[in-house]
Structure 1
Amino acid sequence: MLNNWKTLLDDRNRFFWVLQAAGWSGYALVHYIGSLMHEMRDIYALILLLGAYAGFLLTVPLRYLYRRIWDASPWLLIIVVLAASYVSAALWAVVDNATYWEIYKFGFSPDSNWFYFKNTIAKFYIMLSWSGLYFGIKYYQMLQDEKEKALMATSMAHQAQLKMLRYQLNPHFLFNTLNAISTLILVKENELANRMMSKLSLFLRFSLDNEPIKKIPLERELDALRLYLDIEKVRFDERLQVNFEIDEDVQKALVPSLFLQPLIENSIKYAIAKLEEGGEITIRAQRFSEDLLITVADNGPGCTKPLETLTKAGGVGLANTRERLQALYGKNYSFTLTANKPRGFRIEIRIPLEQVEQA
C-alpha cells in the first residue's frame, strides 16, 4: 500500500489527475448533501454533476497556462492567475445557467441583472481556490525535490568522507611488510615469505572488497584482523601475543569494516615495538545493555602525553577511527582512552548493537 502511494506521488501527472477527479467529485458531493436540506428535485443531482464536470474541464487549461508562466515575475503571475480565474469562472457560470435552462425547461429568469455577476463572483472564488491549491502543491513538490537533492548531496559527501577515511592505509604497514618479505627471500626463507605474501594478498583483497559505508559482522572483522596479525607476527615472532575475548552473543554484531586494524597497529607501534621482551594485546567484545562494547588494551609503556590530545594528532590511527565512528553513528557512540592496569594503554569503543538479519 505504501509503495503504491509512493509510486502515485512520484508520478506527478497521474497525481494531478487523481487530485482533480477527487476534488471535483468532492465538490459535487458536498453541494448535493447541502441540497438535501432544501427538498430539491432529484434532477438537481444531475445539474450538480454537470456543473462539477464543467469545472473539471475548465480548470485543465489553467494547469497548462500556469506551467507556461511558472518562471514569470510575481506580479505577472498574480495578474494572470486573477484574470484566468475570472474568465474561467465566467465561462463556468454561463455553462451552469445553460444547464439550468435546458434541464428545468421553465424559462429560467434571474431576479435581477446582478444574478449573473454574483454567480460569476462565487465561482471566481472557487477557481481562485483551485489556483491557490495548484500553486501550493507545486511549490510543496518543488521544496520536496530540493530537500531530496540536498539529502542526496549530503549522503554522497558522507560516503566520500567515509571512503577517504577508510582507504587511508598506513604506508608504513605496507612498507614494513614488503621489507620483511624481501628479507625473508634474501635469507632463503622462501616458504615463510610466500606464506606472508599470501596473507598480505588476502588482507588487501578483504580491504578492497568491503565497502567503507557498509558494516560487516564482527566475526568477519576479526578474521581480517587475524590476517593482519599473522603478518605482523612474522616480524615480531614471539614478542607479539594477542588474546581474543569475544562473547558468543556478539559474534554477529555489525561493525565498520577494518576499524580495529588501526587500533591494533597503534598498539604494536607504541607498545610492542618499544619493549625488548615484547608485549600482549587483548581484544574484548561484549554486550553492554543495548550497545556493543569493544576494548583494545596493551601492556606497553603507556603514554606520557595527555590522553585527550592523542586523537587530535591526525593520521590513520586513533583520529581516523574516531572520525569514521562519528561519520557512521553521529553522537550515538563513545570512544575513550584510558591508562591500562597495571600498565599500558586501553581504548574502549561503544556503538549501537546491530545484529545481522537472519535470512
Structure 2
Amino acid sequence: MRVGESTTDEHRAFALSILIFWTVHYFVLTALAKLSGATAMFDLSLRRIPLTMLAMLLCYAIYRYLRRRRGGSFWRLAVMAGGLALAAAAIYGLVTTIVFAFIAPIRNFGPYQWRMFLEDSFIWLYSFFSWAAIHLAMVYSFEVSDRERRLVKVEALAHQAQVHALRYQINPHFLFNTLNSISSMIWDRELKGAEAMLVSLSAFLRTTLEIDPSEDVTLSQEIALQQLYLEIEQIRFFERLKVEIDIPSELADARVPSLILQPLVENAIKYAVAPSKGVTRLRIAANRSDDSLMLHIEDDGSVTQVAGGTGVGLRNVRQRLAARFGERWSLDAGPAIRQGYRVTLGMPLQYAAT
C-alpha cells in the first residue's frame, strides 16, 4: 500500500468513526428524552440535528490538529486529546445553552438558567471524552499497523541492499580490477601489497556475508566495513585516493541501518576517484544535531555525481531511510561548497537497548 493510499484510508476511517459515534449519540439522546416524558419532542429533535453536526465538526477539527502532532509520545498525544475534548465540551455546552435559551427556546421546556451551562458542559464532556478514547484507540491501531508494514518493507529493502552489495562485490569489472591489481603486484614482486589486497578482499566479502540485512549495526561496525572496502580501492588507486574518517567516540555505538553508506561510498569511488588524475580525498564524518545522527560523505573530485550519476544509489538510500524511520530522516545531496560532491544523512540518534 502506498503512502497516499494509507493516508486516504485513515481519513476515511476517522471521518466514519465521527459520523457513526455522533449519529448513535443523537438517537440515544432522542430515545432518552422520549423515555423521560419530555414535551416538544419533535422540536427538540430538530434542534439537535445542527448541534450534532457541530459536534462532528469539532471532533474532526480535533482529529486534524492531533494528526499534525503525532510522532512523539503516545501519552503526550493522549493529554492533548483530553484537553481538546474539554475545550470542545465547553464550546458545545455554550452553543447548546445559547440555542435552547435565546435563539430557539422550546415552549414548555422551562426556564433555561446559565448554571445549566455547567451541567450541560459536564454531560458533553463525557461524550467528547468517550470519542477521544475511541480516537486514541484508532491512532494506536493505525500506528501499530504502519509500524508492522514499515518493518516488512525495511526487511525487504535491507535484503535487497545486501543483494546489490554482493552483486557489486562479484561484479566481473570489480573482480577484474582487483585481481588485475593483485596480479600486477605479484609480477612486480610487490608481494606485501598483493597480500594486503587479498586479505582486505577476503575480509570484506566475509563480513558482508555475515551481516543480517534486517538488523541495525553500530556506526563503528558500518565504518569498519567501509574501511575494508576502501582499503581495496586505495590499493587499486594507490596515491590517488586519500580517506579521512571523523567519527566521535560518543557516536561509535549509535545504531544505523546496515550497509546504509555502501552505495554512497561506491558512488564517490566511481564518479570522483576513478575519473580523476590527481589526488581525491574522500571524507566520512558524523556528528550529533539535537536528537539526530548526521552522517556526511564528501569528496573533492573534479567530476561530480550530478554530471555522471544515475541516482540509483541515492534512491536506494532514500527508500531504506523512509522505510526504517518513516518521516524522521533527511538526505541532502549536491555539489560541495568548493569542489566535489557531498551527501548528508540524518536519522534519529538511537543506541542499543541495555
Q: In 2, are the aligned partners of 1:302 and 1:339 still within 8 Å (CA)? A: no
Matched, 1:320 2:321: no
Change (3 A) 1:313 1:348: closer
What's the offset of the Cα at 1:269? 1.4
What's the offset of the Cα at 1:336? 0.9
Name the structure 2 match of 1:166: 162
Matches of 1:246 and 1:223 in 2, distance apart?
A: 11
How many pairs are equivalent?
208
Matched, 1:264 2:265: yes
CA distances 1:95-143 after superposition (whole Å, capped 9, x unpaired): xxxxxxxxxxxxxxxxxxxxxxxxxxxxxxxxxxxxxxxxxxxxxxxxx
Matches of 1:341 and 1:149 in 2, distance apart?
A: 42
Matches of 1:237 and 1:293 in 2, distance apart?
A: 30
Q: In 2, are the aligned partners of 1:200 and 1:227 still within 8 Å (CA)? A: yes
Change (3 A) 1:305 1:232: closer
Matches of 1:228 and 1:250 in 2, distance apart?
A: 21
Amino acid at match of 1:341: I
**Secondary structure at the counterpart of residue 347 of structure 1:** strand
Matched, 1:356 2:333: no
Q: In 1, are the aligned partners of 2:298 and 2:340 still within 8 Å (CA)? A: yes
CA distances 1:158-201 after superposition (whole Å, capped 9, x unpaired): 52332012221222434422332233334343332222111111
Q: In 2, are the aligned partners of 1:219 and 1:251 still within 8 Å (CA)? A: yes
Q: How does the TM-score come out when normalised to structure 2?
A: 0.53
Change (3 A) 1:174 1:357: farther
Matches of 2:209 and 2:288 in 1, distance apart?
A: 29
Correspondence list, 1:101-116, <5 A? none
What's the offset of the Cα at 1:351? 0.7
Name the structure 2 match of 1:90: none
What's the offset of the Cα at 1:256? 1.4
Name the structure 2 match of 1:282: 283
Matches of 1:154 and 1:347 in 2, distance apart?
A: 24
**Secondary structure at the counterpart of residue 325 of structure 1:** helix
CA distances 1:255-296 after superposition (whole Å, capped 9, x unpaired): 112221221121121112222112111111011110000111
Q: In 1, are the aligned partners of 2:151 and 2:323 still within 8 Å (CA)? A: no
Matches of 2:253 and 2:147 in 1, distance apart?
A: 30
Amino acid at match of 1:281: L
**Secondary structure at the counterpart of residue 167 of structure 1:** helix
Taking only the aligned residue pairs, the percentage that are identical comes to: 34
**Secondary structure at the counterpart of residue 328 of structure 2:** coil
Matched, 1:340 2:342: no
Correspondence list, 1:151-300, <5 A? 155-156=151-152, 158-169=154-165, 170=168, 171=171, 172-300=173-301
What's the offset of the Cα at 1:345? 0.6
Q: In 1, are the aligned partners of 2:295 and 2:346 still within 8 Å (CA)? A: yes
CA distances 1:34-58 after superposition (whole Å, capped 9, x unpaired): xxxxxxxxxxxxxxxxxxxxxxxxx
Amino acid at match of 2:330: S
Structure 2 counterpart of 1:330, from 305, 326, 329: 326
Q: In 1, are the aligned partners of 2:305 and 2:341 still within 8 Å (CA)? A: no
Matches of 1:158 and 1:264 in 2, distance apart?
A: 21
Question: Unaligned 5+ residue runs, structure 2?
Answer: 1-140
Amino acid at match of 2:215: K
CA distances 1:70-96 after superposition (whole Å, capped 9, x unpaired): xxxxxxxxxxxxxxxxxxxxxxxxxxx
Question: Unaligned 5+ residue runs, structure 1?
Answer: 1-143
**Secondary structure at the counterpart of residue 274 of structure 2:** helix
Matches of 1:253 and 1:233 in 2, distance apart?
A: 27
Matches of 1:260 and 1:313 in 2, distance apart?
A: 14
Change (3 A) 1:337 1:236: same
Q: How does the TM-score come out when normalised to structure 1?
A: 0.52
Q: In 2, are the aligned partners of 1:271 and 1:279 still within 8 Å (CA)? A: yes
Q: In 2, are the aligned partners of 1:162 and 1:327 still within 8 Å (CA)? A: no
Amino acid at match of 1:163: H
**Secondary structure at the counterpart of residue 226 of structure 1:** helix
Change (3 A) 1:353 1:173: farther
Q: In 1, are the aligned partners of 2:158 and 2:258 still within 8 Å (CA)? A: no
Change (3 A) 1:149 1:271: closer
Matches of 1:237 and 1:304 in 2, distance apart?
A: 22
